[in-house]
C-alpha cells in the first residue's frame, strides 16, 4: 500500500515536497525498507531538521551498522544543522553496543 502511495505522490508531483519526502522516509523505515528510505533521502534537493532526524530514526530502528548513523550525523553537522533532542535519542540508540559507547564520549 505504501509503495502505491509513493507512486501517486510521484505522479502528482508531490515527491519533491520536503514534508512528503520526510513522511516517505519514515514510512519505508517503519516497513524496515532502509534502501528505499536512503533512496528518497539522497534524492532530496534540500533537507530540514525532520529529514535528518527521520533518516537517523530509520537507521536506529534497523540493523544498519552504527557507523552509518554516525556518517549521517557528521554530514548533518558539516552542513550546519544543530542536533536536537530527537537527533540525540536516535543517535544514542545506534550506539547501544558497549564498544561504540566510547565514540559518544
For residue range 65-104, what is the model confidence (pLDDT) as tens digits?
Answer: 888 999 999 999 999 999 999 999 999 888 776 455 555 5
Helix 66-78 crosses helix 85-94 at what angle (to 10 degrees)? 150
For residue range 15-60, what is the model confidence (pLDDT) as tens digits?
Answer: 789 999 999 999 999 999 999 999 999 999 999 999 999 999 999 9
Please give the residue range of the domain that contains residue 17.
Answer: 2-104
CATH number where 25 lies: 1.25.40.10
Q: Who has greater pLDDT, 2 or 85?
A: 85
**Based on the structure, what is the number of domains in the chain?**
1
Q: What is the pLDDT of residue 94?
A: 84
Amino acid at each position: 500500500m505504501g509503495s502505491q502511495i509513493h507512486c501517486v505522490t510521484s505522479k502528482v508531483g508531490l515527491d519533491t515536497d520536503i514534508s512528503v519526502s520526510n513522511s516517505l522516509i519514515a514510512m519505508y523505515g517503519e516497513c524496515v525498507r532502509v534502501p528505499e528510505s536512503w533512496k528518497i533521502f539522497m534524492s532530496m534537493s534540500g533537507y530540514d531538521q525532520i529529514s535528518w532526524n527521520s533518516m537517523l530514526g530509520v537507521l536506529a530502528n534497523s540493523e544498519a551498522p552504527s557507523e552509518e548513523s554516525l556518517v549521517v550525523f557528521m554530514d548533518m553537522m558539516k552542513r550546519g544543522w544543530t542536533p536536537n533532542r530527537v537527533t540525540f535519542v536516535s543517535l544514542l540508540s545506534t550506539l547501544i553496543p558497549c564498544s561504540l559507547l566510547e565514540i559518544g564520549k
